[in-house]
Structures are given as structure tokens and as C-alpha cells.
Homo-oligomer: A and B are copies of this chain.
């Protein structure tokens, strides 16, 4: 967005913030694409324009890749539209397809940015276990048939807690920013339907970082490497030592936290 254009957008009366859930299976990621390629942002902006009556350019807390899902993506945009805030959710949802849902809407001060004001994010990664796959979870979990050593996975994932250089789990395509991030939570839980749910909460994430971590944690679960080897890979800061990226379908952007700055 050019600087003058950005200023023009910010001159509008309201800064609207939305919490959005989506099934990412049908979309080429969150970030706006040139048609006929369709991203979640394309659909969302198109419907918001109908509801608000002006052209909408939204900013998200971050992009999600093709096939990745969200329960708590957060976006904001500037508008002169006058629809009362408490009517936004139902008005927009009445226009959206069933795989995109606005869960909550609010109004923030002009300086709030879904991207820059974010304090931390929580991702969930779902693994489906079992002798045979489950067609009802195929879109929402990574199916692994061979038995997984959950205790070893828990030990490995625990290594990422605290502040580390995460270069070992950074995709080569990522922007050249600092690879240091702090993780507050890194848990592996056994859930209903023979699923494993990995939950990672941190102050920021590098491109493909969660999926690269999970790919390597899965190798620990399969007994291909030890939790100690996982620790060495993390410490070594060398991407070529980590496992393949885990599939997009298991990943959910669960929550974005803005501290005192904003909450729904």
C-alpha cells in the first residue's frame, strides 16, 4: 500500500477489528491473490464492501498458508460505513460462504493494527492417529498411521520453551528478520477421537516455523530421532537438519493476543 493511500484510508472515521474463523482447505492462503486465484482475504473484503459501502483493504495479524485454518485470525480496516458494531457479525456472516465466519467485531482506536499491535499468537496442530484414516478429519489433521511416542514428543516440544534462535525451523522463503522468538507454551495433549493436539504460544513466529517444528517432533514420536537430537537441531540453527514441513491441513491459528491494547 502506498503511503498516500494509507493516509487516505486512515482518514476514514472508524477502525473496525474482526475475529475471523475459516476452513482454509479451499483457499490459496489468507493473503489477497489476483483472481482467478482466491484467498480468504478476497472473499472477506468483497463481502465487507457490501456491508460497509466503501472499498475495504484489511490488514491481518499475519498471513496463513494455503490449507491452513483459523479460529482466531484478527483483521482490521478503516471505513466510513455506518453499520452499528453490534450488527456487523450477523450482517457479514449472512453474505459469507460457510467456510468463513466472522466470530466477533469491535472498534479500536486509530492506531490499533491487527498486525503490529499483536503481542503473541497461539497455534494448534492436530495429528490424527489410528489404523485407518478418518475421512471426517482429513481436512483438519495430519494422519499418521504408525504409533507415536507421545512422551518423547512432549519432551522434544518442551525444548522450544523460552527464547531461542529458531533458524533451524525457518523456511528459506522467509523475510530477513531476526530469527529470535520467545515461546510461552509448548504442549502435546491427547484429545478425543484419537487425536494429538500440539499447542504452541509465542511472541511471534517465522515463516513455516510451526509446521517445521511439528515435522521434526513427529520424527521424534516415530522414533526416527531422539528428543536430545531435537534439542541439537534447535541449537544448531541449521534448517537442513530439521525434518520436512508438516502438512498445512493440521495447522490452526487459534488466537492472537493484544494484551490491554484490544480484546473482543
Contacts and interface: CB of A to CB of B under 8 A. Distances in A.
Interface of A: 21-23, 69, 71, 89, 93, 98-103, 132-136, 138-140, 192
Contact of A140 (B22, B71, B100, B136): B136
A102 B132 CA distance: 8
A133 B192 contact: no
Contacts of A100: 135
A132 B192 contact: no
A99 B23 contact: no
A103 B134 CA distance: 9
A22 B69 CA distance: 22
A140 B136 CA distance: 8
Contacts of A135: 21-23, 69, 98-101
Copies of this protein, total: 2
A244 B140 CA distance: 31
Contact of A101 (B21, B22, B133): B133
Nearest to A21: B135
A138 B103 contact: no
A132 to B, nearest CB: 5
23 contacts: A21-B132, A21-B134, A21-B135, A22-B135, A23-B135, A23-B136, A23-B138, A69-B135, A69-B136, A71-B136, A89-B132, A93-B132, A93-B133, A98-B133, A99-B135, A99-B138, A100-B135, A101-B134, A101-B135, A102-B132, A103-B132, A136-B140, A192-B192
A235 to B, nearest CB: 36
Contacts of A133: 93, 98, 101
A139 B69 CA distance: 15
Top 8 A-B pairs ranked by shortest CB distance?
Answer: A98-B138, A23-B135, A99-B135, A101-B135, A103-B132, A21-B135, A101-B133, A22-B135
A93 B101 CA distance: 33
A23 B133 CA distance: 12
Contacts of A21: 132, 134-136
